[in-house]
Protein backbone atom coordinates (compact mmCIF):
# COMPACT_ATOMS: atom_id res chain seq x y z
CA UNK A 1 0.00 0.00 0.00
CA UNK A 2 1.15 3.50 -0.78
CA UNK A 3 2.52 5.32 2.27
CA UNK A 4 2.74 8.75 0.65
CA UNK A 5 -0.25 10.81 1.74
CA UNK A 6 0.66 14.25 0.36
CA UNK A 7 -2.54 15.89 -0.93
CA UNK A 8 -3.40 15.86 -4.60
CA UNK A 9 -3.53 19.53 -5.44
CA UNK A 10 -5.90 19.47 -8.40
CA UNK A 11 -9.55 18.45 -8.74
CA UNK A 12 -12.35 18.62 -11.27
CA UNK A 13 -16.00 19.13 -10.39
CA UNK A 14 -18.54 17.83 -12.89
CA UNK A 15 -21.16 20.58 -12.99
CA UNK A 16 -22.33 20.76 -16.60
CA UNK A 17 -25.40 18.51 -16.47
CA UNK A 18 -28.99 19.51 -17.19
CA UNK A 19 -30.31 18.39 -13.81
CA UNK A 20 -33.50 17.06 -15.38
CA UNK A 21 -34.32 14.76 -12.43
CA UNK A 22 -34.25 17.78 -10.13
CA UNK A 23 -37.02 19.59 -12.03
CA UNK A 24 -38.85 21.86 -11.41
CA UNK A 25 -36.12 23.24 -9.12
CA UNK A 26 -33.57 23.28 -11.93
CA UNK A 27 -35.85 24.97 -14.46
CA UNK A 28 -34.19 28.29 -13.63
CA UNK A 29 -31.45 27.24 -11.18
CA UNK A 30 -28.59 24.93 -12.21
CA UNK A 31 -28.22 21.91 -9.95
CA UNK A 32 -24.78 23.01 -8.64
CA UNK A 33 -26.49 26.07 -7.13
CA UNK A 34 -29.23 24.14 -5.34
CA UNK A 35 -28.79 24.79 -1.63
CA UNK A 36 -28.39 22.21 1.12
CA UNK A 37 -28.12 23.37 4.71
CA UNK A 38 -28.00 26.98 3.47
CA UNK A 39 -25.06 26.46 1.10
CA UNK A 40 -24.90 25.55 -2.58
CA UNK A 41 -23.97 22.01 -3.57
CA UNK A 42 -20.92 23.19 -5.46
CA UNK A 43 -19.69 25.29 -2.52
CA UNK A 44 -20.07 22.24 -0.25
CA UNK A 45 -17.96 20.26 -2.72
CA UNK A 46 -15.27 22.94 -2.96
CA UNK A 47 -15.16 23.31 0.83
CA UNK A 48 -14.44 19.59 1.17
CA UNK A 49 -11.75 19.73 -1.50
CA UNK A 50 -10.01 22.60 0.27
CA UNK A 51 -10.09 20.63 3.53
CA UNK A 52 -8.38 17.82 1.65
CA UNK A 53 -5.52 20.02 0.43
CA UNK A 54 -6.73 20.89 -3.07
CA UNK A 55 -5.51 24.26 -4.35
CA UNK A 56 -6.71 24.22 -7.98
CA UNK A 57 -10.21 23.29 -9.15
CA UNK A 58 -11.57 22.98 -12.68
CA UNK A 59 -15.35 23.19 -13.08
CA UNK A 60 -17.03 22.17 -16.33
CA UNK A 61 -20.02 24.25 -17.38
CA UNK A 62 -22.91 24.02 -19.83
CA UNK A 63 -26.51 24.38 -18.62
CA UNK A 64 -27.02 27.80 -16.98
CA UNK A 65 -23.26 27.87 -16.57
CA UNK A 66 -23.10 31.66 -16.33
CA UNK A 67 -24.90 31.44 -13.00
CA UNK A 68 -22.37 28.93 -11.67
CA UNK A 69 -19.45 31.03 -12.87
CA UNK A 70 -20.83 34.14 -11.14
CA UNK A 71 -21.39 32.20 -7.91
CA UNK A 72 -17.81 30.98 -7.83
CA UNK A 73 -16.15 34.25 -8.77
CA UNK A 74 -16.47 35.36 -5.13
CA UNK A 75 -14.19 32.59 -3.90
CA UNK A 76 -10.56 33.42 -3.21
CA UNK A 77 -9.56 29.89 -2.28
CA UNK A 78 -8.98 27.64 -4.14
CA UNK A 79 -8.03 28.85 -7.60
CA UNK A 80 -10.95 28.04 -9.89
CA UNK A 81 -10.84 27.64 -13.66
CA UNK A 82 -13.76 26.84 -15.94
CA UNK A 83 -14.03 24.35 -18.77
CA UNK A 84 -16.95 25.37 -20.96
CA UNK A 85 -18.87 22.87 -23.04
CA UNK A 86 -20.82 25.43 -25.03
CA UNK A 87 -21.61 23.44 -28.17
CA UNK A 88 -22.62 20.13 -26.60
CA UNK A 89 -22.56 18.23 -23.34
CA UNK A 90 -19.54 15.95 -23.32
CA UNK A 91 -20.80 13.58 -20.58
CA UNK A 92 -18.57 12.63 -17.67
CA UNK A 93 -15.64 11.13 -19.57
CA UNK A 94 -15.64 13.60 -22.41
CA UNK A 95 -15.92 16.47 -19.96
CA UNK A 96 -12.83 15.42 -18.04
CA UNK A 97 -10.88 14.70 -21.22
CA UNK A 98 -11.78 18.16 -22.55
CA UNK A 99 -10.30 19.70 -19.38
CA UNK A 100 -7.06 17.68 -19.25
CA UNK A 101 -5.01 20.65 -20.40
CA UNK A 102 -6.04 22.47 -17.21
CA UNK A 103 -5.68 19.47 -14.90
CA UNK A 104 -1.99 18.76 -15.47
CA UNK A 105 0.02 15.56 -15.64
CA UNK A 106 -0.42 14.30 -12.07
CA UNK A 107 -3.34 12.26 -10.68
CA UNK A 108 -6.33 14.38 -9.70
CA UNK A 109 -9.69 14.21 -7.97
CA UNK A 110 -12.93 14.14 -9.94
CA UNK A 111 -16.22 14.62 -8.10
CA UNK A 112 -19.88 15.00 -8.98
CA UNK A 113 -21.35 18.17 -7.54
CA UNK A 114 -24.56 16.36 -6.57
CA UNK A 115 -22.65 14.08 -4.18
CA UNK A 116 -22.44 15.43 -0.66
CA UNK A 117 -20.43 13.64 1.99
CA UNK A 118 -19.71 13.98 5.69
CA UNK A 119 -16.48 12.63 7.09
CA UNK A 120 -16.43 9.58 9.31
CA UNK A 121 -13.86 9.08 12.10
CA UNK A 122 -11.15 10.14 9.64
CA UNK A 123 -11.35 12.61 6.78
CA UNK A 124 -12.39 10.75 3.65
CA UNK A 125 -9.79 12.34 1.37
CA UNK A 126 -6.98 11.53 3.78
CA UNK A 127 -8.10 7.89 3.93
CA UNK A 128 -8.24 7.73 0.14
CA UNK A 129 -4.72 9.10 -0.22
CA UNK A 130 -3.47 6.52 2.25
CA UNK A 131 -4.91 3.79 0.03
CA UNK A 132 -4.01 5.34 -3.31
CA UNK A 133 -1.19 3.34 -4.91
CA UNK A 134 -0.28 4.62 -8.38
CA UNK A 135 1.96 1.60 -8.94
CA UNK A 136 -1.04 -0.71 -9.16
CA UNK A 137 -4.02 1.65 -9.62
CA UNK A 138 -5.21 3.76 -12.53
CA UNK A 139 -8.32 4.85 -10.66
CA UNK A 140 -9.55 4.74 -7.06
CA UNK A 141 -13.32 5.06 -6.65
CA UNK A 142 -14.93 6.02 -3.36
CA UNK A 143 -17.74 3.57 -2.56
CA UNK A 144 -20.64 3.44 -0.15
CA UNK A 145 -22.94 0.71 1.09
CA UNK A 146 -25.76 0.25 -1.41
CA UNK A 147 -28.39 -0.47 1.22
CA UNK A 148 -27.41 2.36 3.56
CA UNK A 149 -27.09 5.16 1.00
CA UNK A 150 -29.15 8.33 1.37
CA UNK A 151 -31.16 9.41 -1.68
CA UNK A 152 -30.13 6.34 -3.71
CA UNK A 153 -32.53 3.77 -5.13
CA UNK A 154 -30.31 1.69 -7.43
CA UNK A 155 -28.85 -1.80 -7.21
CA UNK A 156 -25.24 -0.81 -6.60
CA UNK A 157 -22.31 -0.83 -9.00
CA UNK A 158 -19.39 -2.99 -7.91
CA UNK A 159 -18.04 -5.98 -6.06
CA UNK A 160 -14.66 -5.60 -4.35
CA UNK A 161 -12.13 -8.29 -3.44
CA UNK A 162 -10.28 -8.14 -0.07
CA UNK A 163 -7.61 -5.89 -1.64
CA UNK A 164 -10.17 -3.42 -2.99
CA UNK A 165 -9.93 -4.46 -6.64
CA UNK A 166 -13.28 -3.90 -8.35
CA UNK A 167 -15.49 -5.86 -10.70
CA UNK A 168 -18.86 -4.90 -12.15
CA UNK A 169 -22.20 -5.89 -10.68
CA UNK A 170 -23.75 -8.60 -12.87
CA UNK A 171 -27.05 -7.66 -14.46
CA UNK A 172 -30.11 -8.32 -12.26
CA UNK A 173 -27.99 -8.65 -9.11
CA UNK A 174 -27.67 -6.23 -6.21
CA UNK A 175 -24.05 -5.47 -5.33
CA UNK A 176 -22.84 -4.33 -1.90
CA UNK A 177 -21.16 -1.15 -3.09
CA UNK A 178 -22.26 1.87 -5.09
CA UNK A 179 -19.98 4.46 -6.65
CA UNK A 180 -20.37 7.81 -4.89
CA UNK A 181 -19.15 10.05 -7.70
CA UNK A 182 -15.84 10.74 -5.89
CA UNK A 183 -12.61 9.39 -7.35
CA UNK A 184 -8.92 9.74 -8.07
CA UNK A 185 -7.86 9.33 -11.70
CA UNK A 186 -4.61 9.27 -13.63
CA UNK A 187 -4.57 11.40 -16.78
CA UNK A 188 -3.30 8.43 -18.78
CA UNK A 189 -6.65 6.64 -18.45
CA UNK A 190 -7.96 8.93 -21.19
CA UNK A 191 -5.47 7.62 -23.75
CA UNK A 192 -7.33 5.99 -26.64
CA UNK A 193 -10.72 7.19 -25.38
CA UNK A 194 -13.24 8.62 -27.88
CA UNK A 195 -13.37 12.21 -28.99
CA UNK A 196 -16.56 14.03 -28.05
CA UNK A 197 -19.10 12.78 -25.51
CA UNK A 198 -18.51 9.55 -23.60
CA UNK A 199 -19.04 8.18 -20.11
CA UNK A 200 -16.34 7.60 -17.51
CA UNK A 201 -17.59 4.01 -17.56
CA UNK A 202 -15.38 3.60 -20.64
CA UNK A 203 -12.37 4.39 -18.45
CA UNK A 204 -13.55 2.10 -15.65
CA UNK A 205 -14.11 -0.83 -17.99
CA UNK A 206 -10.60 -0.49 -19.41
CA UNK A 207 -9.13 -0.31 -15.89
CA UNK A 208 -11.11 -3.41 -14.82
CA UNK A 209 -9.74 -5.35 -17.79
CA UNK A 210 -6.21 -4.35 -16.75
CA UNK A 211 -6.86 -5.17 -13.07
CA UNK A 212 -6.21 -1.56 -12.12
CA UNK A 213 -9.60 -0.30 -10.88
CA UNK A 214 -9.82 -0.13 -7.09
CA UNK A 215 -12.27 1.14 -4.53
CA UNK A 216 -12.38 2.42 -0.95
CA UNK A 217 -15.51 2.29 1.18
CA UNK A 218 -16.48 5.63 2.72
CA UNK A 219 -17.12 5.32 6.46
CA UNK A 220 -19.20 8.47 6.90
CA UNK A 221 -22.54 9.70 5.58
CA UNK A 222 -23.05 10.15 1.85
CA UNK A 223 -26.00 11.72 0.04
CA UNK A 224 -27.04 11.61 -3.58
CA UNK A 225 -28.82 14.92 -4.15
CA UNK A 226 -30.22 14.18 -7.59
CA UNK A 227 -33.97 14.61 -7.11
CA UNK A 228 -36.28 16.86 -5.05
CA UNK A 229 -36.89 13.83 -2.81
CA UNK A 230 -33.16 13.36 -2.28
CA UNK A 231 -32.82 17.03 -1.48
CA UNK A 232 -35.56 16.75 1.13
CA UNK A 233 -33.87 13.72 2.66
CA UNK A 234 -30.52 15.42 3.12
CA UNK A 235 -32.13 18.62 4.43
CA UNK A 236 -34.02 16.58 7.00
CA UNK A 237 -30.84 14.78 8.02
CA UNK A 238 -28.97 18.04 8.51
CA UNK A 239 -31.82 19.66 10.39
CA UNK A 240 -32.52 16.95 12.93
CA UNK A 241 -29.30 15.00 13.38
CA UNK A 242 -27.08 18.05 13.51
CA UNK A 243 -29.44 20.50 15.16
CA UNK A 244 -27.22 22.88 17.08
CA UNK A 245 -24.10 20.88 16.24
CA UNK A 246 -21.50 21.84 13.67
CA UNK A 247 -21.26 18.81 11.38
CA UNK A 248 -17.95 17.37 10.32
Q: Summarize pLDDT for 145-171 with one digit per residue, the tens.
A: 998 877 787 889 999 999 999 999 988
- Three-state DSSP at 160 gives strand
Q: Determine the Cα–Cα distance for residues 30 and 19; give it in Å rounded to an integer.
A: 7
Over residues 206-229, the mean pLDDT reads: 91
Mean pLDDT of the chain: 90
Q: What is the band of 16 on the pLDDT scale with cuts at 50, 70, 90? A: very high
Q: Determine the Cα–Cα distance for residues 145 and 82; give it in Å rounded to an integer.
A: 33
Q: Determine the Cα–Cα distance for residues 53 and 180; give it in Å rounded to an integer.
A: 20
Q: Determine the Cα–Cα distance for residues 79 and 65; give it in Å rounded to an integer.
A: 18
Domains detected in the chain: 10-241 (3.90.550.10)
Question: Rounded to whole angstroms, what are the CA distances from 144 to 159, 192, 236?
Answer: 11, 30, 20
* Predicted TM-score (pTM) of this structure: 0.91
Query: What are all long-range contacts of 125-128, with beta carbons under 8 Å and residues at least 24 apart?
Result: 125/7, 125/48, 125/49, 125/51, 125/52, 125/53, 126/5, 126/52, 127/216, 127/219, 128/182, 128/184, 128/216
Amino acid sequence: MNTITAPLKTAMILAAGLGTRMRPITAITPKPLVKVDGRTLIDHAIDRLVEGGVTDVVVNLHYLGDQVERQLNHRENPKINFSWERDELLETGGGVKHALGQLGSDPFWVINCDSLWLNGPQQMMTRALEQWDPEKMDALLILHSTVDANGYEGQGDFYADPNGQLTRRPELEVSPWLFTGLQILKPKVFTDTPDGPFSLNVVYNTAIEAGRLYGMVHDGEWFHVGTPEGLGEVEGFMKYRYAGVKHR
